[in-house]
Structure 1
Amino acid sequence: MEKSKNQLISEKSIRLLQQNQYTFHVDSKLTKTEMKNWIERFSAVEVEGINSSRVAKKRKKSKLSLNYTSKKKMIARLRANYLIPLFVN
């Protein structure tokens, strides 16, 4: 099964591009190692590290309980002098 990987464009993700970090929405079952291998194979770059977090649904009734969606957010930090062309003007 192919796990979805979509670039995330937001104010924060645009600021992170200046630090050579790229943000993706991915399937919740995707691991950091799988994501690193996919980025390196797809973009011919070297990934230094990956941070991940689950994306929580917003609830209006109760702020204490969080429901998690089937998505994760991963931020890939590339080694110096590498960049992903899809994100460049």
Structure 2
Amino acid sequence: MANIQYYDVILKPVITEKSMNAMAEKKYTFLVHPEANKSMIKEAVERMFEGTKVASVNTMNMDGKKKRRGMVVGKTAKTKKAIVKLTEDSKDIEIFAGL
């Protein structure tokens, strides 16, 4: 496994209607590095966003979608998503505040 630093773990937030509704329960969805495990994700969230405490992390591996370009069939890249649940006394993550 590659040596992944905490700032390389979280790639970008997932902005969907379902993920925005889950924010009311202090659950935040991120696209993460495919080789990151749950403890790496927990450490990255707590270090990148001040005042946050992670209660649990759920991860899911997403297969690439089949795409066609003319007669050539290919697949998009595999991705990994993480749903991070914060504790009740934790601060909210500010990047989602204006959305």
- With the shorter chain as reference, the TM-score category is 0.7 to 0.9
* SS state at 1:57 partner: coil
* SS state at 1:18 partner: helix
1:86 matched to 2:92: no
User: C-alpha distance in 2, partners of 1:68/1:36?
Assistant: 27
Q: CA deviation digits over 1:25-79, x for unaligned, max 9?
A: 111101110010010011121000000001122348xxxxxx7943200000000
2:20 to 14, 25, 29: 14
Query: Between the two proteins, what is the percent identity of the paired residues?
Result: 27
- Number of residues paired by the alignment? 84
Q: 1:68 to 1:74 in 2, by over 3 A?
A: farther
Tell me the TM-score normalised to structure 1 length. Answer: 0.81
Q: Extract unaligned runs of 5+ from structure 2.
A: 68-74
Task: Return structure 1 stretches of 4+ with deviation > 4 angstroms.
Answer: none
Aligned runs of 1:1-89 on 2, under 5 Å? 1=4, 2-44=8-50, 45-59=52-66, 69-82=77-90, 83-89=92-98
Tell me the TM-score normalised to structure 2 length. Answer: 0.73
Q: 1:51 to 1:79 in 2, by over 3 A?
A: same
CA radius of gyration, larger in: 2
**Shift in Å at residue 16 of structure 1?**
0.7
Q: Extract unaligned runs of 5+ from structure 1.
A: 61-66
User: C-alpha distance in 2, partners of 1:85/1:25?
Assistant: 17
